Each structure stands twice: as C-alpha cells, then as structure tokens.
Amino acid sequence: METIITILEQMKKEKTYIVKNLLVTFVCILAGISYIVFWGKGEVASCHREQEKKAQEAIKDDYQQGIAEEILRLHVIANSDSSKDQELKMKVKEEVVSYVSNLTKACDNVQQVRKMVSAHTQDIASLAENTICREGYDYPADAEVTECYFPVKTYGEAVFPAGYYQALRVKIGKAEGKNWWCVLYPNLCFVDTAYGVLEEEQKEELKKVLTREEYESIFTADSEDMEIRFGFWDWFQAYQDK
C-alpha cells in the first residue's frame, strides 16, 4: 500500500513538473512571437520609409533630367572676388544675355538654341573681351557650351533643382571669382534674381518647353498635383505602419 502511495505522489510531482515546463515553454514561445511581430513590423515600416525616400528622390531626379533637356543656362565666372571684378562680371553678363537673346530670336526649341550658340562661341568670347577692354581691363575671355553642375537656384518664383545642365560658360581672366547663374533659354536672366517676379509671358514660355509635371515641380508652392503625389506617399506609409 505504501508503495502505491509513493508511486502516486511521484507521478503527481512529475505531472506538476511537466505542466510547469509546458507553461514556461508556452510563455517563451509567446515572447518570441511578440518580438518577431513587433520587430518585424518595425523593419517593414523602416523598409517602406526607405522605399518612399528613394521614390521621391527618383521623381525629383526625373524632373531635373527632364528640365535639363529643355533649357540652356548661363554660367559667367569672374576673374576674382574683388568688387571691381564682380562689377565687370555683371557687365559682361548683360552684354552676353543681350547678344544671345537677339541671336536666338528665331529659334523654336532648345536644340536650335544650343546649336546656334555653339556656332558663335568665338563671337561671344570676343564680345566679352571687348566689354572687358572697354571697362579698362586686359583679361582674356573664353566661351563654350558645356555641361555644368548647378546648385538649386531661384529665378523669381521658379526654383530649379540642382544637377547637371547644358550651359554657355563664360570665363573671365583667371576665372577664380564668384559665379553668375541664370537661364538663357527660355530667358530668365534677371538683373535681381532674389526679388524678381516671373512675367506671365515668361511662365508661358516655360510651359511650352516643359511637361506639366516638370513645370509644376519648379513652382511647388502652387502645385496641388505635387501635394497630392507626396500626400499619397504619406498615406501609404501610414497604412503600412498600422
């Protein structure tokens, strides 16, 4: 009889031990699942945020490249940063802008403008040197149509993205001074770009050479389409984070 009681007590202890082990195992499994779910969700959210960022950058890059294909910019580099050399740079710029404007008056597109300007770079260099000489300096000048990197630049209400653009580059003397940047075609070369205001005629010229999306991208403050586009990405991220 005592043997039977002993065996039953032993079985009871073993059963308790098994139950405890099962509970511990169950709790560990739950903890593991919870970790995987929450950690995985965080990874998914992070992944979607990275995808969103890349998508927005891709859109901006596409716009920049599209804009770059349809415009010609001007890049004038002064001899130095001295006040006299900077004043000279502005006078050369004004002469070049006026000359190119008349030269390309009959051109219908950017390809014709680039071809026309490229064929007259020597004339433009001579014009710059004549202006320099008239102002009492003997700096040489060089002009070429080439690809230049431009930072983000504002012309009136229009903000052009940073990137590489075809440009007429005019170097004065050692070309170690500050630059002058503007858009030759369509002509947005303001004397005061910080406070300039685009005329409706100039906006229409931009509309003619750019796609609707490209045009709206440089007037982002007034572009409902851009707000909707990036608002979609905000909604998509919020949806994935739920």
pTM of the model: 0.67
* Band of pLDDT at residue 219, cut at 50, 70 and 90: confident
Tell me how far apart the alpha carbons of residues 162 and 80 are, in angstroms, rounded to a whole number: 24
How confident is residue 187, by pLDDT bands cut at 50, 70 and 90?
confident
Residue type, 79: N
Taking all residues of the chain, what is their mean pLDDT, rounded to a whole number? 77
Residue 178's pLDDT is 94
107 found inside a domain: yes
* Backbone phi and psi for residue 142, each to the nearest 5 degrees, phi listed first: -135, 145
Residue 195 counted as domain residue? yes
Q: Which of 162, 149, 70, 53 is nearest to 111 (CA)?
A: 70
Is 193 a domain residue? yes
Choose from 88-97, 188-197, 225-234 the range with maximum mean pLDDT. Answer: 88-97
- The mean pLDDT of 180-207, rounded to a whole number, is 77
Parent domain of 114: 71-209
pLDDT tens per residue across span 93-141: 999 999 999 999 999 999 999 999 999 999 999 999 999 999 999 999 9
In a domain, 242, yes or no: no
Number of domains in the chain: 1
Report if residue 188 sits inside a domain.
yes
Token couple for 217: 């991208």
Tell me, yes or no, whether 90 lies in a domain: yes
Element of type H or E holding 39: helix 2-70
**Cα(168)–Cα(171) distance, integer angstroms:** 10
* Domain annotation covers residue 40: no
- Can you give the length of the chain in residues? 242
